[in-house]
Structure 1
């Protein structure tokens, strides 16, 4: 499955979850909005942190959502590389395997964005 397909499937799954527990998903969304809009760090820095956590916890759905957000925020491949290097340093071998997945995801979604622009 491609990362674009994974992104579409993740969105479909989240929409289904929202239908059954809308209050919970709305509250979680509100938390995300508050965290991303407030504080000292900018949105892109916070998304870099989120991507690192997604890799460390081996959450492919999280990886695809945060890669998409970082592409929209103007992140570069080199910036992604720095985040992934730090993640590997902190998380060892398992983080290295998921860092490779995250880079593949970023590359695929970036090329899809550039192709549609």
Structure 2
């Protein structure tokens, strides 16, 4: 298993290196991140639960450690996190099912005789 605390520390050190080399990249990211968290409609805990679902979908370990820490600080319970992850699993399964229809569409097109005139 990954040592998440050590990984988080290494990640932060790596990002600090990016910030020293190109501070405008981190400023831009922070501006976008801050803008997304200034809404008063969703609480911090809800935003972090959504972020964890996205982190799983994007397979982003840095996002997982960052947003798990933030979710804990916002008061999220293990049960709430598991429920949010269940939503991510369900949506991803649904997306795979829907995209499966595209494979069959491609198959139908590509397996049919090409009727386009030769150029």
Same fold (TM over 0.5): yes
Q: CA deviation at 1:38?
A: 2.0
The residue aligned with 2:42 is 41
SS class of match (2:50) = helix
1:37-76 alignment, distance < 5 Å = 37-76=38-77
In the TM superposition, structure 1's runs of 4+ consecutive aligned residues that sit over 6 Å from their partners are none
- Is 1:9 the counterpart of 2:28? The answer is no
Q: CA deviation at 1:32?
A: 0.9
Q: CA deviation at 1:39?
A: 4.6
Q: CA RMSD in A?
A: 1.2
The residue aligned with 2:98 is none
Provide structure 2 residue ranges, at least 5 long, that are not aligned to the other structure: 94-119
Count residues with an aligned counterpart.
92
SS class of match (2:37) = helix
1:85-104 alignment, distance < 5 Å = 85-92=86-93
Following the alignment from structure 2 to structure 1, what is the Cα–Cα distance between the partners of residues 9 and 25?
A: 22
TM-score (norm 1): 0.73
| 1:62-116 deviations in Å (ceiling 9; x for gaps) | 1111001101111100100100111111124xxxxxxxxxxxxxxxxxxxxxxxx
Provide structure 1 residue ranges, at least 5 long, that are not aligned to the other structure: 93-117
The residue aligned with 1:83 is 84
The residue aligned with 2:25 is 24
Larger radius of gyration: 2
